[in-house]
Homo-oligomer: A and B are copies of this chain.
Amino acid sequence: MLFSGRVFPIVRWSRSYDLRTSIGDLIAGITIALTLIPQSIAYASLAGFEPQYGLYASFAGGFVYAIMGTCPQINIGPTALLSLLTFTYTSGTNPDFAVLLCFIGGIVTLVAGIAQLGFLVDFVSLPVVSGFTSAAAITIASSQIKGLLGLKFNAESFKATWEGVVHHIGDTRMQDTLLGFACCIVLMGMKAMKDIRLKEPEDDKGRRSAKIIQRSLWFVGVSRNAVVVVIASVIAFLVYEDKNYPLMLTGSITPGLPTPRLPPFSSTIGNTTASAGQMLAHLGSGLMVVPIVGIISNVAIAKAFSKGKTLDATQEIVTLGVCNIISAFFRSYPVNGSFTRSAVSDASGVRTPAAGFYTGIIVLLTLALLTPYFYFIPRAALSAVIICAVLHMVDIAIIKKLWATSRLDLIPLIGTFVCGLALGVEVGLVCGVGVDILLLLYYHSRPPLEVELVDDGIIIPHYAVRPIGGLHFASAERLRARLVALKHSKSLQPHIVDTIHVTSDGNEMRITVPNGISGTIVKPLKVLVIHCDALSRMDYTFIESMKMVVSDWSQEGCVIWCDVKPAVQEQLNTVLQQPLFCNLEQLSTILTRNFAIDAHVNNTCSDTPL
């Protein structure tokens, strides 16, 4: 039962897995690895760990995703965003804390997935996501400036980093700076190659070679991180002069594969041993923030690549949780899907999530064979890789789009961005969601109300209003005030009319004409017609304010409810004495006749004083 295709989609797609598909996946897997390996080494340094931790985080997630994932493009592994957050929450400790964060964060994610809490992601609007990633990208890029310049100081936040840079600018190491900027330029140049479009040649042969050139250019562009890191390391090796090296290097690291073991529930820092409780207390809000950010990013990426197919968000969240839990057994820090790598995967013609399996194998091989050579990777090259990877995350285009479509959305965007830079990206996210909710509430205290004074000389002149949406406490008072003000409007003259009895009886309206139609003249009437077709629900506060409206209008007129939905009708029946319901057709019948409505709508708000 559990091994069904719902929980393990591999059961479904593996049935039709053939050579052609596997070759597509293999090519994609290798291509992803070329991006993933240098990125993961760089991100590990961003998170504050030795390079091998980036690789530890890069294989288990891919294996799990191959089994449980639904979106072939997604590649699970270390990302700039989660590396930054991991650094924020574990700075000053050791990797044990990050592994525990990965494990507990995975459990939180899994529980959120099982509890169907994915809908909470809906409350994070696109402008907030955009402001968040932009702020994160700038924070991350800033944190790498010191690596690029060969500076050494401790700083976590955006502000502290730039203060540190300004303060230590005199210590800039020329060789590192040169290498760093050179790497940046090469990376950007190679990235541009990826997007070169050749002119379409005329003959068949030309077309074919053009395609090969195009494809090669693209492949060089995609493998740019690997190329740059390898070349920079070779340069570092060549200029190396035993302990007196001109470049800041990664230095010696633990070689080989990580031994699978339980996530650490105690850890030694210096002379003190932290218990599980102390470790969790240190991680604090990170235990919630890291999973939330992971879920939001993953759902967003999955949505972007689902291409119209309905997305099983719950399955994606559950899978992400399991990826983190299993990864924690291999000393991984928190992982999630990377947008860059997923795009590479997509462009490489990936067919199934199996690509993650091939990528994982290559990462394991790298760990087993190549770690000794990591000693020579220059820090400046890693900084360049990170900066070039995150800078495209800064989304400037959205400002123009928002200006054109919905200017108000600039507020949450800017709020998230500014708070994110000033107070930390996770605080920015919370602020942005808060601003969005406040705007929503503000709008809901001002619901749209179409008001029309109908006076064509044929039917009884009346106001026709049409409130829209589910109406509730936030809008109750404002709507009541507007409807009461309508009554006092000079535009609607009371209409002196003959009499006719109208009683409401459930859905149906009976019109009984009494003896002597010529009848007596009754009191002047002001009529308010409330069209309720777009009204789906009212809460108690709103119903009570409607009661006040009816009580107010009834003094010199009456209120007719048109096209009321059954649920709303029941609510009105409970609080009003014989409200007048009708549908559109009945309404015109009633109003066209030159008769008054001897309404049985009384002052139901009888707080009569003594």
Given known A-B contacts A122-B445, A441-B440, A610 and B347 have beta carbons under 8 A apart:
yes
Chain A, 346-403, CB within 8 A of any chain B CB: 346-347, 398, 401-402
Residue in B closest to A448 when the chains form the complex, CB atoms: B536
Which of A121, A308, A468 has the largest number of chain B CB atoms within 10 A? A308
Interface residues on chain A, size class: 35 or more
Chain A, 99-135, CB within 8 A of any chain B CB: 119, 121-127
- The answer, among B218, B405, B472, B609, for a CB contact under 8 Å with A540, is B405
Q: Contacts of A609 on B, CB cut-off 8 Å? A: 343, 346-347
Task: Tell me the smallest distance from the CB of A435 to a CB of chain B, in Å.
Answer: 12
Q: Contacts of A447 on B, CB cut-off 8 Å? A: 469-470
Given known A-B contacts A536-B468, A543-B405, A473 and B123 have beta carbons under 8 A apart:
yes
Stretch at the interface among A262-270, A315-323, A474-482: A474-482
- The answer, among B398, B440, B488, for a CB contact under 8 Å with A474, is B440
Interface flag for A600 (CB, 8 Å): no
Q: Are B571 and A123 in contact (CB under 8 A)?
A: no
Stretch at the interface among A504-512, A544-552, A590-598: A544-552
Q: Contacts of A194 on B, CB cut-off 8 Å? A: 610
Tallying the copies of this chain within the complex gives: 2
**When each residue 477-496 of chain A gets 1 if its CB lies under 8 Å from chain B and 0 otherwise, what string results?**
11001001100100000000
Residue in B closest to A445 when the chains form the complex, CB atoms: B122
Q: Contacts of A571 on B, CB cut-off 8 Å? A: 405-406
Residue in B closest to A343 when the chains form the complex, CB atoms: B609
Q: Are B125 and A539 in contact (CB under 8 A)?
A: yes
Interface flag for A404 (CB, 8 Å): yes
Cα–Cα distance between A304 and B437 once the two chains are bound (Å)? 30
Interface flag for A578 (CB, 8 Å): no
Cα–Cα distance between A401 and B488 once the two chains are bound (Å)? 30
Q: Contacts of A523 on B, CB cut-off 8 Å? A: none
Cα–Cα distance between A127 and B485 once the two chains are bound (Å)? 26
Interface flag for A520 (CB, 8 Å): no
Residue in B closest to A544 when the chains form the complex, CB atoms: B126
Q: Contacts of A406 on B, CB cut-off 8 Å? A: 538-540, 543, 571
**When each residue 440-451 of chain A gets 1 if its CB lies under 8 Å from chain B and 0 otherwise, what string results?**
110111011000
- The answer, among B401, B478, B537, B538, for a CB contact under 8 Å with A122, is B478
Interface flag for A607 (CB, 8 Å): yes
Residue in B closest to A218 when the chains form the complex, CB atoms: B610
Q: Contacts of A548 on B, CB cut-off 8 Å? A: 308
Q: Are B126 and A402 in contact (CB under 8 A)?
A: no
Cα–Cα distance between A579 and B195 once the two chains are bound (Å)? 30
Task: Tell me the smallest distance from the CB of A10 to a CB of chain B, in Å.
Answer: 23
Q: Are B473 and A126 in contact (CB under 8 A)?
A: yes
Q: Are A473 and B544 in contact (CB under 8 A)?
A: no
Given known A-B contacts A122-B476, A123-B441, A609-B347, A539 and B409 have beta carbons under 8 A apart:
yes
Known: A122-B475, A125-B540, A468-B536. 6 other contacts (CB 8 A): A124-B473, A308-B555, A401-B540, A406-B571, A447-B470, A468-B468
22 interchain pairs, CB-CB under 8 A: A119-B478, A122-B477, A122-B478, A123-B441, A123-B473, A125-B476, A125-B540, A126-B544, A308-B484, A310-B481, A310-B485, A310-B488, A311-B481, A401-B574, A404-B574, A405-B543, A408-B539, A409-B540, A440-B441, A444-B444, A447-B469, A468-B469
